[in-house]
Chains A and B, each alone.
Chain A
């Protein structure tokens, strides 16, 4: 007999929706008190599920999802500073546009900010080189490992065993994440 397996996101999304819809319907049909009981029951069910998941994560019984692994990266201090400098440049252009800054001051500040942005970008590039190589090696090793065990993967349905997931290196997703925001700010 095939086991019915619901996607975890569907269960996660269904509970609040079922609770709210149930509360509204019960409120209309039976009164506010029943509606409140349904909200309380829904909250309690959610709390039990969340605590269970929290303990599982704590003890390492549940693997990290790809989404979570991707969020592990954090922008470095240099990336934050670069963003601040780009913002300052954008503001400087605006101040010039509305005539709040003289051309001499604008030229001086603009040159200074651009030089600072360039220096930070070079620092970021230099810092991420080693990380990039490490990620490529880790990815290569993982692909080779997967190719070597196709049968086991098919039996497991592609799932990772608990505890096997490797956290993604911190700098790469961060760099990838920072990119669109920076592009937008620079524009």
Chain B
């Protein structure tokens, strides 16, 4: 019946649809309480996930064997691409990225169903049914609108078109999977939410089940967005990392929803309040993940990230309609049970702060949503209005700072109500730190190159423009002071916790030194103190964002030997070279025959001393000569990045145009993200009970395998990544016809990860029960 891989692959997609539909039906039937049906549904869910693995392995095989009978393979790969980028091409285009989405959903489903064994007996059938419904949507989408196995109409080509050079970057290998992990991860909380609404078991049971899944999704949304920023910063070459592009905005919207939820869930757990709000937040976050995917793929808003325009938008609109209608109908049905019996007793309470913080987060998300969609909305009554980065920057800065301030305030309050004495005690140290930092910044900031006030041009005429201008000018000083306030709050919280532990130890006749108390404090309250560490990471990120206020952006043209002053640096242009061919090119550059590379060599001096060499470049790929890529070269430090981009080079005179940027404190964003990841991992790490140990060992095993896979991918691409990152490339580039060494490192890492995962999984059997 199936004569070739395209037909066979399409057949597998049909099989996934049939299996998902079967599991969905059996899952719903199991909701009536028949254990055999539940068992059948669980096995069906595993089988659906297994079929998805089969499908992705088939597509990967098609890429590796250059099966250009498949249109998607022919469009996104060619014979010269290294193996690592052939894997990247799996999610490099629209059709494949949908299958990749399904593959990640299969992974989540497998872990979730395994974790559910012995838990949440009443919720399980509906969780499985909801996950299968999501499976069904994506398979239908692929079968009828974006089939990754669709055959090339004109038959197999001799070679493919190749992946966009901008996507041949190591950040792009890990950025989309991370972001998708975050997006797809929101499906599990949504499935639990629907299950709780369907069964009417709306106590805190499902909230406890959901919070770690949402935190996991939040972690990957944060990492995914940060990696996207890193990619834009290194690869796009415009000097910044966030341009408020519609697709960037769509990717950060679910982050706001998830961040609001991980805070408001604590109120329901503690005070049995805000049940409707929590249900709303989970449904909204899932909805926003689908909306983000829709925005990227439907082509309704122009974006540098968008996939090719296609007609899959109507499918997404239909699915979003079903999601919204189902959620709303279930909420209305269960409204009497969702109404809380408790109320906020005092404004001076942590729950009140969390609620205000939630509103601020949702306010920020709404602003971004409306501003992103505004060009489309404006078409309804007027000419198309474009909304650019300056607009977002003007308005989002005060919104962001409000959220930042509330982030510091909430931990200072206790639950229910806080007495004036307790408030005074809690506020003294952070407020003194805030005031002191602001005064020091005012006095010494300008002399250090970071003034507290930075004058801006008026964005609007009239009073609104003047007010925004004044606020904008004061923002750097306010941000630094608020960052100090937040850090002081976290330090104070740790200090009070340590002292409380030490007092408690003394009462027991024991003694704990500060270091031991510190670690035990985190160990015994991972969620709380992991959260505080996340707050520290966000402080780092805000400091990095503020650095933009003190940046310098210049354009200049130089002939060899000329110099240009950029802040405290001096850039000397030494000359240009074209590789391969120029004797000054490294062996790796000489060996790379896939493109022509034009480098402009710069020497970076500070106070007359050489501090580095930079070589911004233009790459002209032989396959796509019409779209040369810009290769950034920069010198990074915690204080500032010197970021250079080449515009054009006159081959006769060697005169070159440059874009030069001095970006202060950008590295603090990446440091902040790392701290945030560390804090989120501490919060996620389970406080093991003997029963829970089993399930989390599966997750740890999966994490082991996932880590090893990422490491394997990294090892596979390390020569290319080193080449892309190096300001003066010295690393080897794999030549088109050179024999490829076996990826021993990758296999070693994968084996180690699998072994570690297996060990952890097996170790649960030794745990006492």
Partner-B contacts on A (CB < 8 A): 17, 20, 24, 27-28, 31-33, 36-37, 39-40, 43-44, 46-47, 50-51, 53-55, 57-58, 60, 64, 68-75, 77, 80-81, 83-84, 87-88, 91-92, 94-95, 97-102, 105, 109, 167, 170, 177, 180-181, 184
Contacts and interface: CB of A to CB of B under 8 A. Distances in A.
B562 interface: no
A33 B421 contact: no
Closest 9 CB pairs of A and B: A54-B43, A74-B121, A97-B500, A100-B414, A71-B118, A40-B57, A50-B47, A47-B50, A57-B40
B270 A72 contact: no
Contacts of B61: 33, 36-37, 40
Given A43-B57, A101-B415, 20 more contacts: A33-B65, A43-B54, A44-B50, A47-B54, A50-B50, A64-B35, A70-B118, A71-B121, A72-B121, A77-B203, A80-B203, A80-B204, A84-B269, A84-B272, A94-B500, A94-B525, A100-B414, A102-B421, A180-B689, A181-B691
Contacts, number: 156
A120 B41 CA distance: 34
A24 B64 contact: no
B121 A170 contact: yes
Contact of B203 (A81, A97, A181): A81
B742 interface: yes
Given A40-B54, A87-B269, A74 B40 contact: no
Interface stretch (B572-580, B658-666, B746-754): B746-754
A23 B413 CA distance: 55
A80 B205 contact: yes
Nearest to A37: B61
20 contacts: A20-B754, A32-B83, A33-B64, A37-B61, A47-B19, A50-B43, A53-B43, A54-B41, A54-B47, A57-B37, A57-B40, A58-B36, A74-B122, A97-B501, A97-B504, A101-B415, A102-B421, A105-B416, A167-B35, A177-B691
A73 to B, nearest CB: 7
Contacts of A81: 203-204
B518 to A, nearest CB: 14
Given A54-B44, A58-B37, A43 B691 contact: no
Contacts of B600: none
A18 to B, nearest CB: 12
B510 to A, nearest CB: 15
**Among A39, A44, A100: residue with most chain B CB under 10 A:** A100
Interface size class of B (residues with CB under 8 A): 35 or more
B506 interface: no
Interface of B: 19, 23, 26, 35-37, 39-41, 43-44, 46-47, 50-51, 53-54, 57-58, 60-61, 64-65, 83, 117-122, 201, 203-205, 269-270, 272, 413-419, 421-422, 425-426, 493, 496-497, 499-501, 503-504, 525, 689-692, 742, 744, 747, 750-751, 754, 758
A105 B118 contact: no
Chain A contact residues, majority secondary structure: helix
Contacts of B692: 181
A83 B205 CA distance: 9
A175 B415 CA distance: 31
B13 to A, nearest CB: 14
Contacts of B690: 180
Contacts of B203: 77, 80-81, 84
A71 B525 contact: no
Nearest to A70: B118
A121 to B, nearest CB: 16
A91 B270 contact: yes
A80 B64 CA distance: 51
B57 to A, nearest CB: 4
Given A43-B53, A43-B57, A84-B272, A95 B415 contact: yes
Contacts of B744: 28
Contacts of A53: 43
Nearest to B60: A36
B57 A58 contact: no
Contacts of A94: 500, 525
A100 B426 contact: yes
A46 B39 contact: no
B19 A72 contact: no
A102 B419 contact: yes
B747 A27 contact: yes
Nearest to B53: A43
Contacts of A109: 416
A51 B19 contact: yes
Nearest to A45: B50
A58 B272 contact: no
B64 A51 contact: no
Nearest to B201: A77
B216 to A, nearest CB: 21
Contacts of A58: 26, 36-37, 40
B497 A98 contact: yes
B410 to A, nearest CB: 12
A50 B46 contact: yes
Contacts of B272: 84
Contact of A57 (B43, B121, B205, B422): B43
Which of A24, A32, A68 has the most CB atoms of chain B within a 10 A radius of its CB?
A32
Contacts of A64: 35-36, 39
A101 B414 contact: yes
Contacts of B23: 54
Contacts of B414: 95, 100-101
B545 to A, nearest CB: 31
Contacts of A31: 64
A60 B34 CA distance: 11
Contact of A68 (B39, B50, B269, B742): B39
Contacts of A97: 497, 500-501, 503-504
A42 to B, nearest CB: 9
A106 B679 CA distance: 30
Nearest to B34: A167
B766 to A, nearest CB: 16
B51 A47 contact: yes
A74 B270 CA distance: 22
Contacts of A32: 64, 83
Given A24-B751, A40-B61, A98 B121 contact: no
Contacts of A92: 415
A53 B750 CA distance: 30
Contacts of B64: 31-33, 36
A79 B744 CA distance: 53
Given A80-B203, A180-B690, A39 B40 contact: no
Contacts of B36: 57-58, 60, 64
A27 B754 CA distance: 15
A51 B43 contact: yes
A81 B692 CA distance: 19
Contacts of B750: 24
A115 B29 CA distance: 40
A93 to B, nearest CB: 9
Contacts of B41: 54
A64 B40 CA distance: 11
Contact of A47 (B47, B118, B204, B751): B47
A31 B413 CA distance: 60
A40 to B, nearest CB: 4
A91 B416 CA distance: 12
